[in-house]
């Protein structure tokens, strides 16, 4: 009996030791292994560049490698669906932008992603400035002049966008609603082709990203009527906002931030958010982000969540007022 008791005690001690080891393994402070950052855009895009800047600095801040994994497609939704389906442990995060997070869910043919249910906001990282710009040949010099001319054109004024339901398109539709204008969206495959037609005089105005238009604004070939953000852009502080130009309260920004699976541990999210805040606060990181024609704009988990709710409500109303595209 004594021998059996000794064997039992030995087995119990061994089991306890294994349990302690397992507990110690699971109790390791986050992160204890590499973090995967899914970027739902192609390599080389400005959003990819921002993700890589943040990812590189985040590796240092966390003391673990941050591995960037590009998974483009579905207007940015494909990669985020992968994030939503990943293990909710904080070791897989993704970069999300305006379209996939607050626009696509409000579309009739939306991708199978419900961001506010399937993803946890970690941190807002940057805003992408957009600008309402006119061709120099139009004679327009400011927003008030454009509004007067548009109101005197009952058949509607054409304006270029980068495609149906893009941030540029919705910014134009919000302007039309708030300024009580009849604007007719002309979709292009990106800001570049729209700018080309502006320069050639085939298009009077367009809402494009500031990166594509700014060299031509500085040369005088294009005229900036206003940036769409609530405040002036750090990239081009001399350009007034549309709110300053004559549409009080107007604000429409493209933005990007980081997300984790919905059930990721709160402590992991807080650790990631704190590290991202420190990264975005670095002057050299801010300079690199501005160099990509974006603006550092940090919001923590709670503030980012509230921001997303407000953005979703705003764009849902704008989208509901737009006639569905003909198939």
| Domains of the chain, start order | 35-127+254-320 (3.40.190.150), 130-245 (3.40.190.10)
310 Rama sector, left if φ>0, alpha if ψ -120 to 50, beta otherwise = alpha
- Residue 22: what pLDDT? 43
Q: Model confidence over 83-122: pLDDT tens digits?
A: 999 999 999 999 999 999 999 999 988 888 999 999 999 9
Res 251: pLDDT:
96
* Ramachandran bin of 64, using left for φ above 0, alpha for ψ from -120 to 50, beta for the remaining angles: beta
Average pLDDT in the chain: 91
Q: What is the pLDDT of residue 190?
A: 85
Q: What is the mean pLDDT of residues 59-86?
A: 95
Residue 293's pLDDT band, with cuts at 50, 70 and 90, is confident
Res. 186: pLDDT tops 80: yes
Taking each continuous run of H as one helix and of E as one strand, the counts in the chain are: 13, 11
Res 9 pLDDT > 70: no
**CB proximity list for 174: less than 8 A, separation 6 or greater:** 250, 252, 314, 318
81-85, 89-93, 211-215, 272-276 — which is least confidently predicted? 211-215
The mean per-residue pLDDT over the stretch 20-26 comes to 46
């Amino acid at each position: 009996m004594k021998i059996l008791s000794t064997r039992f005690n030995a087995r119990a001690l061994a089991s306890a030791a294994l349990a302690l080891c397992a507990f110690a393994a699971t109790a390791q402070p986050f992160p204890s292994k590499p973090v995967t950052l899914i970027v739902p855009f192609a390599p080389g895009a400005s959003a990819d560049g921002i993700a890589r800047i943040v990812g590189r600095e985040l590796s240092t801040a966390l003391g673990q490698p941050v591995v960037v994994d590009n998974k483009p497609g579905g207007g940015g939704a494909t990669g985020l669906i992968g994030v939503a389906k990943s293990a909710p442990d904080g070791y897989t995060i993704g970069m999300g932008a305006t379209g996939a997070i607050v626009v696509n869910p409000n579309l009739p043919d939306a991708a199978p992603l419900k961001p506010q249910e399937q993803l946890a906001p970690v941190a807002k990282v940057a805003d992408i400035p957009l600008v309402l710009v006119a061709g120099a040949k139009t004679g327009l010099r400011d927003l008030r002049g454009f509004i007067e001319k548009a109101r005197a054109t009952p058949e509607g004024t054409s304006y270029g966008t980068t495609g149906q339901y893009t941030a540029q398109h919705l910014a134009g539709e919000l302007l039309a609603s708030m300024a009580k204008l009849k604007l007719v969206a002309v979709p292009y495959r990106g800001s570049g082709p729209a700018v080309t037609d502006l320069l050639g005089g085939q298009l009077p105005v367009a809402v494009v990203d500031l990166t594509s238009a700014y060299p031509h604004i500085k040369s005088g070939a294009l005229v900036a009527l206003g940036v769409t953000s609530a405040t002036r852009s750090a990239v081009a502080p001399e350009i007034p906002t549309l709110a300053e130009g004559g549409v009080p309260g107007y604000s429409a920004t493209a933005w990007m931030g980081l997300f984790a699976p919905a059930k990721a541990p709160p402590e992991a999210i807080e650790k990631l958010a704190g590290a991202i805040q420190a990264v975005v606060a670095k002057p050299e990181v801010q300079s690199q982000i501005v160099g990509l024609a974006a603006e550092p704009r940090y919001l923590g988990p709670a503030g980012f969540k509230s921001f997303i709710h407000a953005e979703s409500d705003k764009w849902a109303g704008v989208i509901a007022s737009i006639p569905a595209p003909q198939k």
